[in-house]
Structure 1
Amino acid sequence: MKTQQRVGAGPGRGLAAALGATVCAAVFTAAALPGTAWAAGESPYGFDGGAQPIKGAATSLDARPLTAGQSYRDSIKKDGKLYYRVDLGTQENAYVSVVAVPKAGGAAEYGDGITVTLQDGSGAQCGYQDSSFASATFTRPITAYAHRTIEPDRSTCQQAGAYYVLVERTSKAASPPDDWQLEIRYVPEPGVTQNGPTELPENWPSSSPPPPVGGPQKRQGGTGFHDATSLRQGEWRADIEPGQTLFYRVPVDWGQQVFATAELGSSPTGATGYVPNALVLSLDNPARGHVDQNTVSYDGKPATLALDPHRPVAFENRYSSHSTTNALRFAGWYHLSATLSPEIVKEYGDRPVQLTLRVNVTGTPKAGPAYAGDAGPFQVTADDRDAAASGASGDEAGTNDGMVVVAAAGIGAGTVLLAGLGVWSFAGRRRAARDAARGGPGGPQDGPSPFGPPPPAW
């Protein structure tokens, strides 16, 4: 899936019992939010539990606004077009990502996919990206984003006002007619107080590093971006089922490069049936913009694929006309997702296949841009490095969606406090269970952390 893009969130006991019941209800309501759809027979993708429903409009003037940091859910029909709105100032860069989620395990036509475009009020195109299933013609979550970038000496898309997000689903006549679910997110990036370089260096480390040492450690992937399992440099083992997509995230700081390979283990039954494009490995940036992907076929023997080497993460990458380099424009959590073809069932049966991910993060962290505000997700913090070492999922390491739901329900302050404690306790038990399933709270240390201390401001 190559992409195209334009550069461009007593009485006391009675009261305690009542509050405790409310806490339990809130906790289990949070546990039953979207993201547990597998049991309901829908897509196994783990949607953000705090996502709000929204209905995309047929025209730009009817588009409903998106709030920064808030996730949304919608659906799109075959050959559908939907509009949303974002209101922008003159300083911030803006990113709107869309994760398209068809029913898992289905067939797709070559070229089926989505295009996300950001336009200003005159219809001028600020930026776009399209993603498709390409040669791996089976359905799975795919993502694309559009952005408005503040650039020196550019006049288009630099003004304050209403901007419109257009989401288009591209299909062939033979494509399945089912609606696709959408997860939508708008994230701003602060402007900078001083401009840095805009030219990319001619030379950069383009050779792949040796595989990480220490041996494999168990770390099962998440079901979506929201609960993606955190990884640091190392070798990680998981079980992946036919048609399943596993999500991981890796903190990559300014000046660093991420390298990833994926290997399918040999068939335990000795079967040798050939499955083309059996495994897809994708890389997406912190704004959920697509960076790169690769596939490998499988015939019962060990099969390995690697993502191509790419430039280190740098602010000036955003001025590149190369789509992959352009997407490596900020620090933060980079996401890896691995999907196993449902065609595996025909040759090897409906059983999990062993998957190994090998992740390298190279380079010394450098100073980032002098942002005019909080860098938000576009940075690597000490907490991020701790989460990567422990294997915490995104929802465990970030804000707890259960708290958002409780607060939105308008429950009193005392109940909110108790609900927070309840959710915290629930999350702690879940984290302990996940750690046990992953083989412990973290893998072996491969020497000093490759991330080092946080760098000074640019």
Structure 2
Amino acid sequence: MLGSLALGTALCATAALTGRASAASPLAASGTPKPYAYAEGDTTVEGTTSTTNAARLESGRTYRSSIGQGGKLYYRLALDATSDAYVSATAVPRPGATVSYADGVKVSVQDDNSRRCSSSAAHFGASESPHPVAAWASREIGPTKYSCQAAGTYYVVVERVDTSGSSATASLSPGDWDLELGYVSEPALKKAGSTKAPEVWNSASPDALQGDARPRAGGAGFATAAVLGKGVWKDGISPGQTLFYKVPVDWGQQFYAGVELGSSTGGDGFVGTALVVSLYNPVRGFVDDVGCGYDGSQRAAALDPLPPVAYDNRYALNDRAGGMRFAGSYYLAVHLAAQVADKFGDGPFGLTLRVRVEGAAHAGPAYAGRADPRDVFDAAAGAPAEASGGTAAAGAGGPGDRAGSGDGGDPHMKAVAAGGLGTGTALLVALAVWTAVARRRARGW
């Protein structure tokens, strides 16, 4: 996963703008980062060391599990002969864990005769800082596939591995890691189309967005990722912390992102890979990453331009383009290495995100059924509610925005919107709600 981080320092450039810490950043009371935020509906499931009694995973759901040093665990899938299946595993080292460059997690999907459908691995890489990393695997149906095409029992294999692919206990850092597993089902198309990836697209980097940054506090996991639209955003990040953001990108649109780490107020030294920015697609599949060193001066890291979102990207020869195969929410995971604290203090450090979504959205592929979960490939479902005209690209957040909120942050207004009231009545109710909330806040409630 983190192969591109070998060139991370070369991809960094000095930035002129720095961010300031957001008061709403997900920090514990002690100032240390909060633990990874799992989805509220996660079901706990135990992986087995043999396929015989492997627990079944159901599409559209996420699960919690764990894996030990050198572990190799199995989970079961029941697949039809028409749908594509995508399984992700997010590995979360526990507090106090140590990791090496080589440590990682590998995910595979296999049929009942041990034939591998696909696999990928994620490693902590040059930062050598424990943080959530995610890998994915799939069973895909199509004319270019020659195995794993039949309906039947399949197995998800999750392993702790080093960069050589070995799961030998002696080569891995000790301690158990927690896991969050996701399983998404994509239906077949009503009519088969092209099996060739687009070859021509705009690969030039656009000018960086300008303007005052608006505050938006990142979440502590995929499930609580803060929604970002097109614009300049600011947050604060502490050493050892990983912040999650999601950006709705529709069919035909192109996504760009750059992240800047603000200058330090003290300390000295150099951390080789201090900032790690990783991009994941709507099924939590890894797309790309970039790393950046830090010497106390402001630094910037930007993802290389990616192709517009298209169904046929799945036929691309490289994984970066292949990952841009779905519309929906794309996730930015921003990690600041724990080692930064040793040289520059506990922070938090200013973080600025410049997000751009370009191009006109168009209709997606004609699916023969529904995805599971049903809105996973619907960019509109993840769009900020404050965006005008219902477009995700507007992204006009305000100072009161809360992490993961796309409605301006007021849960009372959600109830008003859900009530199906007429316009005049809704306005009166809204006024009453705002008045009541203001009075409560004035009383210190």
TM-score (norm 2): 0.78
C-alpha displacement at 1:3, in angstroms?
Answer: 7.1
Q: Is the counterpart of residue 109 in structure 1 residue 138 in structure 2? A: no
| Corresponding residue to 1:345 among 341, 365, 372 | 341
| Corresponding residue to 1:161 among 152, 164, 171 | 152
C-alpha displacement at 1:154, in angstroms?
Answer: 3.1
Corresponding residue of 1:324: 320
**1:225 alignment partner AA:** F
**2:235 alignment partner AA:** A
What CA distance in whole angstroms lies between the structure 2 residues aligned with 1:141 and 1:272?
A: 27
- Superposition pairs of residues 32-431 of structure 1, within 5 angstroms: 44-104=35-95, 106-171=97-162, 173=170, 175-269=172-266, 271-375=267-371, 376=374, 377-381=376-380, 384-386=383-385, 389=395, 390=397, 393-394=403-404
The question of whether the paired residues in 1 share the 8 Å contact of 2:70 and 2:172 is answered with no
C-alpha displacement at 1:386, in angstroms?
Answer: 2.3
CA-to-partner distance for each residue in 1:6-58, whole Å, 9 max, x for gaps?
A: xxxxxxxxxxxxxxxxxxxxxxxxxxxxxx99689997100112111111011
What CA distance in whole angstroms lies between the structure 2 residues aligned with 1:169 and 1:215?
A: 43
Q: Percent of aligned pairs with the same residue?
A: 43
Question: Aligned residues, how many?
Answer: 370
C-alpha displacement at 1:174, in angstroms?
Answer: 6.0
The question of whether the paired residues in 1 share the 8 Å contact of 2:87 and 2:184 is answered with yes
The answer for unaligned runs of 5 or more in structure 2 is: 5-25, 163-168, 387-391, 408-432
C-alpha displacement at 1:148, in angstroms?
Answer: 0.9
What CA distance in whole angstroms lies between the structure 1 residues aligned with 2:91 and 2:359?
A: 33
**Structure 1 residues 148, 236: CA separation in 2 closer, same or farther (over 3 Å shift)?**
same
C-alpha displacement at 1:196, in angstroms?
Answer: 2.1
With 301-310 and 75-84 compared, the bigger mean Cα shift is at 301-310
The answer for unaligned runs of 5 or more in structure 1 is: 5-35, 398-427, 437-458
What CA distance in whole angstroms lies between the structure 1 residues aligned with 2:126 and 2:207?
A: 29
What CA distance in whole angstroms lies between the structure 1 residues aligned with 2:232 and 2:138?
A: 34
Partner SS for 1:318: helix
C-alpha displacement at 1:379, in angstroms?
Answer: 2.2
**2:176 alignment partner AA:** D
CA-to-partner distance for each residue in 1:196-215, whole Å, 9 max, x for gaps?
A: 22212322100111122332
What CA distance in whole angstroms lies between the structure 1 residues aligned with 2:46 and 2:29?
A: 25
Partner SS for 1:65: coil
What CA distance in whole angstroms lies between the structure 2 residues aligned with 1:90 and 1:315?
A: 19
C-alpha displacement at 1:395, in angstroms?
Answer: 7.7
Corresponding residue of 1:414: none
TM-score (norm 1): 0.76
**1:255 alignment partner AA:** G
What CA distance in whole angstroms lies between the structure 2 residues aligned with 1:301 and 1:244?
A: 19
What CA distance in whole angstroms lies between the structure 1 residues aligned with 2:29 and 2:65?
A: 20
**2:88 alignment partner AA:** S
C-alpha displacement at 1:155, in angstroms?
Answer: 3.6
C-alpha displacement at 1:79, in angstroms?
Answer: 0.8
CA-to-partner distance for each residue in 1:232-265, whole Å, 9 max, x for gaps?
A: 0111110101100000000011111211111111
Larger helix proportion of the pair: 1
The question of whether the paired residues in 2 share the 8 Å contact of 1:245 and 1:340 is answered with yes
Corresponding residue of 1:403: none
**1:346 alignment partner AA:** D
What CA distance in whole angstroms lies between the structure 1 residues aligned with 2:33 and 2:344?
A: 24
What CA distance in whole angstroms lies between the structure 2 residues aligned with 1:265 and 1:279?
A: 11
What CA distance in whole angstroms lies between the structure 1 residues aligned with 2:35 and 2:210?
A: 33
The question of whether the paired residues in 2 share the 8 Å contact of 1:93 and 1:191 is answered with yes
The question of whether the paired residues in 2 share the 8 Å contact of 1:257 and 1:313 is answered with yes
**Structure 1 residues 161, 181: CA separation in 2 closer, same or farther (over 3 Å shift)?**
same
**Structure 1 residues 197, 174: CA separation in 2 closer, same or farther (over 3 Å shift)?**
closer
